[in-house]
Amino acid sequence: APAPSAVPTARLYKTVLDRYREYQKVYKQAYEKNDPSRLASVALDPLLTQVTDDIEATRAEGEIWRFTNTHNPRVYAKSTDSTKVYVIDCIRTLAGYRYSATTGERLGGGPGDAYLYRSTVQWDSGTWKVAASVRDRAC
């Protein structure tokens, strides 16, 4: 793959947003299955460890999280060398529920909120991965 700095900006941003959306898809599946093993294909530390630890803690509690989110990501900045691209996304959780991993019984949850997240998508060995994500204000 060409170095990020050699890629035209519009194409670079499209690729980064596609990879960000893939991260969100894998993230959702990881929680639904209590299995973080596929996250390394779309995430880097520190985010990779944070999410993996959270999923493992949820599994240790005997629970599963299922949720439906809507996304509207866009690029708001990039590093000088184009190896980090910063994405802002108003993530709206339409609903989120906790279930027992053994019985399938719903344990809690309900309608969600909407928050702005700022994420760093970083070039790593020929592919883009989400490296950090910080929750900002309500949106």
Q: Return per-residue pLDDT of the chain as tens, 139 residues.
A: 778 888 899 999 999 999 999 999 999 999 999 999 999 999 999 999 999 999 999 999 999 999 999 999 999 999 999 999 999 999 999 999 999 999 999 999 988 899 999 999 999 999 999 999 999 999 9
**How much of the chain exceeds pLDDT 90, in percent?**
92
pLDDT at 113: 94
- Whole-model pTM? 0.93
Which CATH topology does 4-138 take?
Answer: Nuclear Transport Factor 2; Chain: A, (3.10.450)
Distance CA 134, CA 122 (A): 15
Q: Which of 99, 17, 111, 12 is nearest to 64 (CA)?
A: 99
Distance CA 31, CA 24 (A): 11
pLDDT digits (tens, 9 = 90+) for 5-42: 888 999 999 999 999 999 999 999 999 999 999 999 99
